[in-house]
Amino acid sequence: MLPDAIANQIAAGEVVQRPASVVKELMENSIDAGASFVQLIVKEAGKVSIQVIDDGKGMSPQDALMSFERHATSKISKAEDLFAIRTMGFRGEALASIASVAQVELKTRREEDELGRLLRMEASVLKENEQIAAPKGTSILVKNLFYNIPARRNFLKSNPVEMRHILDEFQRIALANPEIKFSLIQNEQETYALPVEKLGKRIVDLFGKTYREQLAACEENTNYVSIKGYVGRPEYAKKTRGEQFFFVNNRFIKSSYLHHAVMSAYERLVPEGTFPFYVLFLTIDPSHIDINVHPTKTEIKFDDERSIYAILQAAIRKTLSLNHLIPSLDFDANVNFRNPSGAPSSISSFSGANSPRPVQEAWKKLYEGLNDNIEAFERGNVADPSTNLFSETSTTIQSKANTWTADSSSHTNFQVIQILNKYLVVTLSGGMLLIDQKKAYQRILFDQFSENLVKKNGVSQQLLFPQILRINPADSVLLEEILVDITDLGFGLTKDVEENYWIQGVPAGIGEEDGQNLLEGILEQVKNEASDLGQNHSEKIARILANRTAIRYQTKKLLSEEMSALVEQLFASTNPSYSPNGEIISRQLNEAEIGQLIG
């Protein structure tokens, strides 16, 4: 038999994976306790301390002590109760697991008790148990998480990444309970102060005022399941995940099956690779679901998934139709002046992103040269928008290409052809060189962006009209962390009085990619990085931007001048053999190897 302390630490491996896991368990306990106000206080992304304070019913001295025992719960008493659960917790493992890997201080008092109870636990050992004066409710302070398991603590990511996970958990619980007041304080600064409100207002308060205009109410009631919530307008769909929420009986869940139902309802309304916003609540008899599937309780099983899928899909399609978000046939309209999403073209979208090609080209010609002339006059240091990646002369490139070959004159007359709009074949004496053009662009762009970061001289292409950056407050935490780097790369960002970011400029040479999508992609990859953001922070930003910018060259027909410039710049780069992702860029084939391929 394992000692209880070791058994609790093993259980903690499933229940307490990071500080956000502690936040989830403690806040859900507050919800189950009937709290009308829940406050979350974190320091150093939860690594130093996490405190949850509520005004719920509190615990008796006996229950407070019992709560730290394994499999001790007030939620169920027999196995059959699992199929009638409407509380968040029921396993009785959370507090025992947390107390085994941290220092925990619990203060609690019931309304009928004159005095409350203070308990202090360290590594599953009770250090203090005494009466104290305390307000009604419960306060749990968790300090030095994983202090007794250094290896586990070393696996934690940087503070911005861990804080992003905490904000995710906070948002999910706040969304599920708009009738409860919430507060979040991080490093002694209040991030959220959410009053009791309706769901739509709670969404706006959590994700920003820009979400007010994109919400469409969704509601469907059947004998089997009821669906209620909001879905986002198709034109606001993002290229990043993270703002899609399913709740079943007010419990947040993850379900790729139900997500597919939503995406099928948006079919042909959103571009491929983008994800609409949605917050959907499914209410169903607990006897039709099984929530005892995973320790985190984010996965559940339905006894009739096919019906759920069909009802959900139909409900969203009806919502999109009622809100005129699905294009309808209009025989009097001139289809030549309607954009692909079905909405009429307007002056506000004159940039041409959704306009027919003839109109788009007309606008380009009309404004050609105007923006850069104005900016060059006013700033003097802004790149010409027509400047592309290969603005260097062959002479400049040639002088940097000494690593390609000692005899630089040996490749001045090389021949290059393009295959399948994806690969380049370069003739060599006695063979040929096969180059993956996308990976080559990744290397060249990475070197360019890395140099900009080191010299802090990234050239910015100013936008004729500033663009608001639509990100939620949680992503703003990461944006602040990388703000210096992206500014050095050439992004121009300003913040207005309402704390909204505006994109004033983008790095020169990234083509026509939308600044919003580009920054969203950078944020998404930064927060999902497997390793810490410590030493190579800037390098990762450069790599992410290079990867995203190079996508447009994956299958692009190049002119002969572009092909020659690509080859020359590749071999003038810091590492012509490997992309910044560690992938091989080219392969050299000699005459014998070519003969073997044919023979």
Does 324 score more than 60 pLDDT? yes
State the pLDDT at residue 161.
80
Does 289 score more than 50 pLDDT? yes
Q: What is the DSSP letter of 359?
A: H
- For the segment 62-89, the average pLDDT, to the nearest whole number, is 68
Does 337 score more than 60 pLDDT? no
State the pLDDT at residue 170.
95
Does 459 score more than 90 pLDDT? no
pTM: 0.66
Domains of the chain listed by start with CATH number: 4-196 (3.30.565.10), 201-322 (3.30.230.10), 335-378 (no CATH), 394-589 (3.30.1370.100)
Going across the sheet that includes 137-143, the strands are 125-132, 116-122, 103-109, 137-143, 49-54, 37-43, 181-186, 189-194
Q: Is 372 exposed, middle or buried (0-12, 13-18, 19+ CB in 10 A)?
A: middle
State the pLDDT at residue 530.
42
Q: Which of 456, 450, 461, 453 is nearest to 391 (CA)?
A: 461
Q: Indicate the range of 34-43, 392-401, 435-444 predicted with least confidence.
A: 392-401
Does 94 score more than 70 pLDDT? yes
State the pLDDT at residue 26.
94
Mean pLDDT taken over the chain: 78
Report the share of the chain in percent with pLDDT over 90: 31
More confident residue, 366 or 207: 207
Tokens of 409: 């004159």
Distance, in Å, from the CA atom of 450 to the CA atom of 454, rounded to the nearest integer, reads: 6
More confident residue, 299 or 420: 420
Q: Which of 557, 565, 559 is nearest to 444 (CA)?
A: 565
Among 226-230, 475-479, 521-525, 528-532, which range has the highest average pLDDT? 226-230
Distance, in Å, from the CA atom of 71 to the CA atom of 90, rounded to the nearest integer, reads: 9
User: What's the CA angle centered on 404, arms 399 and 405, to 5 degrees?
Assistant: 90
State the pLDDT at residue 309.
93
Does 283 score more than 70 pLDDT? yes
- CA distance to 246, 424, 555, per residue, from 436 (Å): 41, 7, 10
Among 39-43, 283-287, 457-461, 496-500, which range has the highest average pLDDT? 39-43
Q: What is the DSSP letter of 121?
A: E
Q: Which of 240, 320, 223, 235 is nearest to 274 (CA)?
A: 240
- For the segment 38-61, the average pLDDT, to the nearest whole number, is 95
User: Would you place residue 266 in the very low, low, confident or very high pLDDT band (cuts 50, 70, 90)?
Assistant: very high
pLDDT in tens, 11-30: 666 678 899 999 999 999 99
State the pLDDT at residue 15.
72
State the pLDDT at residue 410.
44
Could you tell me if 15 and 94 are in contact, meaning their C-beta atoms sit under 8 angstroms apart?
Answer: yes
Distance, in Å, from the CA atom of 1 to the CA atom of 3, rounded to the nearest integer, reads: 6
Distance, in Å, from the CA atom of 414 to the CA atom of 473, rounded to the nearest integer, reads: 53
Residue indicated by tokens 């023979």: 599
pLDDT in tens, 247-262: 998 889 888 899 999 9
Report the share of the chain in percent with pLDDT over 70: 76
State the pLDDT at residue 155.
84
Does 214 score more than 90 pLDDT? no
pLDDT in tens, 138-190: 999 999 999 888 888 888 888 878 888 899 999 999 999 999 999 999 988 88
State the pLDDT at residue 511.
62
State the pLDDT at residue 319.
92
Distance, in Å, from the CA atom of 164 to the CA atom of 89, rounded to the nearest integer, reads: 23
Does 527 score more than 90 pLDDT? no
